[in-house]
Amino acid sequence: MRQETIDRAIYNKYISRTLEPRPRRIGIEIEMPVVNLAKAPVEENVVFEMAAAFREHFGFQPVSIDSNGQPNSMADPVTGDDLSFDCSYSNLELSMGKGSDLFVLKERFESYYRFINRFFAEYGYTLTGMGINPYFNINRNQPVPNERYRMLYHYLHSYRSHTEAPVIFHDRPDFGTFTSASQVQIDVCHDELIDVINVFGLLEPYKSLLFANSYLPEFPDLLCARNMLWERSMQGYNPHNVGMFEYKLRDTDDLLRYIKTQSIYCTVRDGKYIDFTPIPVIEFFDKKAITGEYFDGNEYKQVTFSPVLEDLEYLRTFKFEDLTFRGTIEFRSSCCQPIKDSMTVAAFHIGLLENIPALKELLENDDVIYSHGYSATELQREFSRRSLPTFVDKQQLSQQLTKIVSLAAEGLSKRGKGEEIFVQTLFHRAQHLTNPAKEMVEGVEAGTSMEDFILRYAQI
């Protein structure tokens, strides 16, 4: 396939949308663990009954049906709000249709959340605001039985056969069934695109400190295990598909070249997902034939197919700052937060986008963490740990975090909606160098039960 054809297709998918004049709109996705407070596995029938009651009450319409006839995604035809199950039926996601006012989005989110938890309470269940389901080792952790999640589960479990990969794989390929994120998509324009990717990449170590909320006992030194679980899985077979960009992008041509180094690992033929060893885009379309596996309804079978340009649709990456086909940047690295702070992640990013020149100046001249010879990626991993690196002065770190949160508050204030209230909790975290995971781990060690934190982080 001609290189010019591929370049044009990538440009049209990713870059062209940023040229369209649009208002700054916000899309919020909040994944939350479903917890059975009896310390027993989540029973899918309870979840199905809740979803049916939710659909009837709010008038949502089915978007996706699993292989057993159960809706695993439903949406409001007016607002675009969506209730879905991410990877498993014990991980519920509420996605708010694009809006411009965080108070409006918060009100809708909380109305859905209250309804769900009132229903769940009758069964001794709850949603809660944690990045790891606290009973992940009790739940069955099975994928939603549809084409996409069945494929993903199979693909992630294939890591044992890939000893050639430059990755030290962990042994929890089922992590997608019990990890929960707080993600936000925000419209960006062409002129700011490269700055947003570069500057927010530099911000990632600080975000680890502020938003860590995914403690996994199997990795006790980490307070933010989610990102590690993605990076050391088959999703990280090609490091360019995950984490941060490893160098400063100069322009959109640089970005396009980078996208061509990212790998495709699945596609669809005749309605069936096929997964295969990841292949960089720049090589994928040069191949005459590719061999993968698909599920025929009973077992996995090999199949050989020829690439077509439409396979670009299935280039799915998990960068911390991910340019999407919608002309948005999706910020993906933050854990689900305690529910009372449900808008904090979105507000933080929106506020800083409104203050991007000041944030750029602060981070490009940062000597608090960027003067010790470590890259942004290395620092992000260090600051995901329970213990702070010894080379950083804690007082200076707290002051720098406070400056960053102040920039977010100033940016929100410029919007004139009063949304700066949503980042107030971050001032406390910055001043005390704490986050929800740290508070939970230290609380449990001091004698507070995990059940207390489940209910505390479930409160609005």
- DSSP label of 389: P
Q: Do residues 239 and 297 share a domain?
A: no
Same domain, 303 and 363: no
Establish if 2 belongs to a structural domain. Answer: no
Q: Are residues 94 and 139 in the same domain?
A: yes
Do β-strands 182-187 and 26-36 pair in parallel, antiparallel, or remain unpaired?
Answer: antiparallel
CA distance 415 to 424: 16
Among the three residues 299, 314, 329, which one is the final residue of a domain in this structure?
314
Same domain, 306 and 386: no
How far, in whole angstroms, is CA 374 from its chain's centroid?
25
Question: Does some domain include residue 428?
Answer: yes
Q: Are 186 and 283 found together in one domain?
A: no
Cβ-count burial of 97 within 10 angstroms (0-12 exposed, 13-18 middle, 19+ buried)?
A: middle
Pairing of strands 328-331, 182-187: antiparallel
Give 278's Cβ-side CA count (13 Å radius): 28
Within-domain flag for 323? yes
Residues present in the chain in total: 460
Do 441 and 298 lie in one domain? The reply is no
| Contact call for residues 349 and 184 (beta carbons, < 8 A) | yes
- Same domain? For 355 and 448 the reply is yes
pLDDT of residue 224: 97
User: How far lies 298's CA from each of 65, 150, 151, 244, 294, in Å?
Assistant: 19, 12, 13, 38, 10
Q: Within its chain, how far is the Cα of 34 from the centroid?
A: 17
- pLDDT score of 284: 97
SS3 assignment, position 416: coil
In 3D, which of 222, 225, 245 has the Cα closest to residue 321? Answer: 245
CA distance 237 to 284: 15
| pLDDT tens readout for residues 24-58 | 999 999 999 999 999 999 999 999 999 999 999 99
pLDDT at 246: 85
Same domain, 104 and 199: yes
Is residue 239 domain-shared with residue 279, that is, in the same domain? no
Q: Select from 335, 306, 126 the least CA-distant residue to 215.
A: 335
The tally of CA atoms less than 13 A away on the side-chain side of residue 431 is 6
Low-confidence residues of the chain: pLDDT under 70: none
Q: Which two tokens stand for residue 362?
A: 């602060």
Is 18 among the domain residues? yes
3-state helix/strand/coil string of 185-235: EEECCHHHHHHHHHHHHHHHHHHHHHHCCECCCCCCCECEHHHHHHHCCHH
Answer yes or no: is 1 within a domain: no
- Is residue 260 within 8 A of residue 140, CB to CB? The reply is no
CB distance 423 to 408 below 8 Å: yes
Q: Are residues 405 and 386 in the same domain?
A: yes
pLDDT attached to residue 3: 86
Q: Which among 133, 139, 29, 41 has a CA at the least distance from the CA of 84?
A: 29
φ/ψ of 295, rounded to 5, equals -95, 120
Helix (H) or strand (E) segment spanning residue 36? strand 26-36
> What would you report as the CA-atom Rg of the chain, rounded to the nearest whole angstrom?
21
Q: Give the H/E segment covering residue 269.
A: strand 263-269
Token pair 């600080």 in the structure block, residue: 206
Contacts of 442 (CB under 8 A, 6+ apart): none
Question: Quick one: 182 and 291 in the same domain?
Answer: no
Helix (H, G, I), strand (E, B) or coil at 82: strand
The owner of tokens 């519920």 is: 92
3-state DSSP call for residue 408? helix
Tokens of 457: 């982080």
Q: By residue range, what is the domain housing residue 298?
A: 263-314
Q: Is residue 196 part of a domain?
A: yes
Cα gap 205→74, rounded to integer Å:
35
Q: 398 with 430: CB under 8 angstroms?
A: yes
- Predicted structure pTM score: 0.97
pLDDT at 2: 85
Tell me the CATH number at 324. 3.30.590.20
Provide the pLDDT for residue 300.
Answer: 97
Distance of CA 451 to the CA centre of its chain: 25
Number of folded domains in the chain?
A: 2
> Is 277 within the bounds of a domain?
yes
Domain membership flag for residue 425? yes
Per-residue confidence (pLDDT) for residue 114, from 0 to 100? 98
Torsion of CA 335, 341, 347, 348, to 10 degrees: -60
The strand order across the sheet containing 263-269 reads: 263-269, 272-280, 290-295, 300-305
Q: Quote the pLDDT of residue 403.
A: 98
Coil vs helix vs strand at 276:
strand
Co-location of 291 and 406 in the same domain: no
